[in-house]
Amino acid sequence: RNFQSPYYRDSSDSEGDDDFELNPYLLDVNADDPGPELVEYLSDGDEVAAAGTVEMRNGEQSNDDSDDDTYVEDAADNQMSDSSYDSDLNASDSDEGSEAAAEGSNKNAAAKPTTSTGEDTTQPTRRVIEDYDEEEEDDEVIKAIISEIKKPRSKPPDIQVEDFVVDLSFHPTEDILAIGTSVGDVLMYKYSNEANVLAATHELHTKAIRCAEFSRDGKTLITTGRERSIVVMDSETGKFKRFWEAAHDEPVYSMSVLGEHLFATGDDDGEVKLWDVRERNAVFSLRPVEDFISSILANQVQQKYLLVTSGDGLLTTINIAQRKMHVQSEPYEEELNCMGTFKRESKLVVGTSKGNYYTFNWGQFAYHCDAFTGPPASASRMVPITEQIAVMAGEDGILRAMHMVPGRVLGIVGQHAMAVDTLDISGSGELIASSSHDNDVRFWNIKYFEDFDGIKYNSKPDKRTLKHNLPSSQRTNARDFFAGLNE
């Protein structure tokens, strides 16, 4: 309905047509006639009919003297200003309008049936590429391109959001993705390889959302806002379970769910708080640093220590049971942005704003035991996907797979046109979702990492892997694409 017909003539182009109301037209292709026809949406019916075959009906008189009972409009000098035709058409009752629409639909098989809301009731739209037969092409390159595009989709399509995307969170057991936006709303999408459906929109905060995370069982969604509030919401009903209006003195920058009832938050001023959804107040609060808390992590087994990285280049360890700081690392001359555990939680790897990675033995957080330099872009986000591999994202908009212990770049998982702001992995571990500054959310199928066990990780680093596209990437390596072509 939003199609702008080439035969459309604005009423301002002619004089004396100010009272004429234009009807929307669609351009349709007739299988028997290659020329275009005008398909008109009738104002009193739900069906569409070809404008070239609409019968001129009059309730009081008939046109028996003429064999041609249709009014054919000349497309070359279509003026669309026959007011008598417009009034006669509008004067028809609803039954006659339906009959005319049905008759027009029979004459033009290309017209699609629609509901009263304008939704298409036919089968899902076929992709145009399906109509091409690569075997009819003489060019081997064209054959390869068509064959590549025809491959079935292995990931959900992209999601375009009107507002800035701040955070993402996958439901742990269901195919649901929560998207936090800059206007304080959370969009709940049900995703699949065929389509993404917006299931619900929750208005939770008066200002931008800072963090959004599902609980371990998926029954609760926890969000933080720039207005310093924290909301604990039932993910099914949307009702509030707990609300803290002034949870921090400064807006929350990072959050981590630690268990069924516990979660931790860190704000822009270096304060860390531990929360229990069953309690009215925070369990405890500390301010170990003076800059923003960039990430929070706790091991899954014992949860004895709470680790936090900050913008002033410090890794701080908090003893949860004793509710005090355990140890603080030596200061680094760069921001510590993200971290993850590997090798059965025996290693901790921290990514920095200068693209460096520092490895710590678990329990020895005062100074790193190993270090390596990755891509020059800032390491903004880290998502571990196996015991040794993580997906990294940064300001260059590229998602890279990296073997963290020892440090090796494996290749490119995906890419955005702008810097990546947030990253999350699905409960099944097969999908990764990412978003960038252009407000789009993209999915990447990373199931192929199950076959990476045979890679020689200790081999000498290859600089070509910095530009090597993995199967999930939207781009194809040139040497792989042309490998199967005949010379």
pLDDT of residue 75 exceeding 80? no
By CB atoms closer than 10 A (0-12, 13-18, 19+), residue 116 is exposed
Q: Which amino acid is it at 176?
A: I
Token representation of residue 225: 């806002």
pLDDT of residue 18 exceeding 60? no
Rounded to an integer, the average pLDDT of 254-267 is 95
| Structural domain includes residue 369 | no
**Model pLDDT, residue 278:** 93
**Model pLDDT, residue 290:** 94
Mean pLDDT across the chain: 76
Residue 162 and residue 283 share a domain: yes
Residue 281 and residue 166 share a domain: yes
71-77 contacts at long range (C-beta below 8 A, 24 or more positions apart)? 73/38, 75/7, 75/35, 75/36, 75/38
- Across 299-366, the runs of DSSP E, i.e. the strands, are 305-310, 315-319, 324-328, 336-342, 347-352, 356-361
Helix (H, G, I), strand (E, B) or coil at 449: helix
The confidence band for 88, taking pLDDT boundaries of 50, 70 and 90, is very low
Token representation of residue 65: 């003297």
CB 93 within 8 A of CB 43: no
What tens digit of pLDDT does each residue of 278-334 get?
999 999 999 999 999 999 999 877 788 999 999 999 999 999 999 999 999 999 999
| Structural domain includes residue 486 | no
**Structural domain count of the chain:** 2
The confidence band for 127, taking pLDDT boundaries of 50, 70 and 90, is low
**Model pLDDT, residue 77:** 44
**Model pLDDT, residue 150:** 63
pLDDT of residue 164 exceeding 50? yes
CB 479 within 8 A of CB 469: no
pTM over 0.75: no
Q: Which residues pair with 176 in a beta bridge?
A: 190
Q: Which of 287, 306, 336 is the last residue of a domain?
A: 287
CB 273 within 8 A of CB 293: no
Q: Which of 224, 255, 287 is the last residue of a domain?
A: 287
Residue 277 and residue 163 share a domain: yes
| Structural domain includes residue 42 | no
**Model pLDDT, residue 407:** 85
CB 234 within 8 A of CB 184: no
Rounded to an integer, the average pLDDT of 403-428 is 90
Choose the weakest-confidence range: 46-50, 212-216, 361-365. Answer: 46-50
Rounded to an integer, the average pLDDT of 109-135 is 50
CA distances from 287 to 273, 276, 356 (A): 9, 19, 26
Choose the weakest-confidence range: 75-89, 149-163, 223-237, 449-463. Answer: 75-89
**Model pLDDT, residue 247:** 96
**Model pLDDT, residue 103:** 47
pLDDT of residue 122 exceeding 70? no
pLDDT of residue 383 exceeding 90? yes
Token representation of residue 171: 């439901």
pLDDT of residue 379 exceeding 70? yes
311: phi then psi, degrees, rounded to nearest 5: -70, -15
| Structural domain includes residue 29 | no
CB 394 within 8 A of CB 419: yes
**Model pLDDT, residue 227:** 96
**Model pLDDT, residue 149:** 62
Percentage of residues of the chain with pLDDT beyond 90: 50
Token representation of residue 162: 């009107």
**Model pLDDT, residue 29:** 46
**Model pLDDT, residue 475:** 47
| Structural domain includes residue 393 | yes
Which residue has tokens 């959001």? 161
**Model pLDDT, residue 350:** 97
Euclidean distance between CA atoms 140 and 273, whole angstroms: 61
The confidence band for 93, taking pLDDT boundaries of 50, 70 and 90, is very low
| Structural domain includes residue 365 | no
Q: Which of 230, 252, 287 is the last residue of a domain?
A: 287
| Structural domain includes residue 222 | yes
**Model pLDDT, residue 447:** 85
What tens digit of pLDDT does each residue of 203-252 get?
999 999 999 999 999 999 999 999 999 999 999 999 999 999 999 999 99
Euclidean distance between CA atoms 476 and 483, whole angstroms: 12
CA angle 198, 199, 204 (to 5 degrees): 95
Domain of 233, in residue numbers: 158-287
pLDDT of residue 50 exceeding 50? no
Percentage of residues of the chain with pLDDT beyond 70: 61
Residue 282 and residue 170 share a domain: yes
| Structural domain includes residue 212 | yes
Helix (H, G, I), strand (E, B) or coil at 105: helix
Instruction: State the CATH number of the domain containing residue 272.
Output: 2.130.10.10
**Model pLDDT, residue 449:** 79
**Model pLDDT, residue 146:** 63
Euclidean distance between CA atoms 293 and 308, whole angstroms: 7
Which residue has tokens 């027009």? 104
Euclidean distance between CA atoms 336 and 356, whole angstroms: 9
What tens digit of pLDDT does each residue of 324-361 get?
999 999 999 999 999 999 998 999 999 999 999 999 99
Rounded to an integer, the average pLDDT of 48-61 is 44
Euclidean distance between CA atoms 53 and 72, whole angstroms: 7
HSE-CB of 385 using CA atoms within 13 angstroms: 32
Residue 382 and residue 281 share a domain: no
pLDDT of residue 169 exceeding 90? yes
In terms of Cα–Cα distance, which of 374, 305, 364, 383 is closest to 334?
374
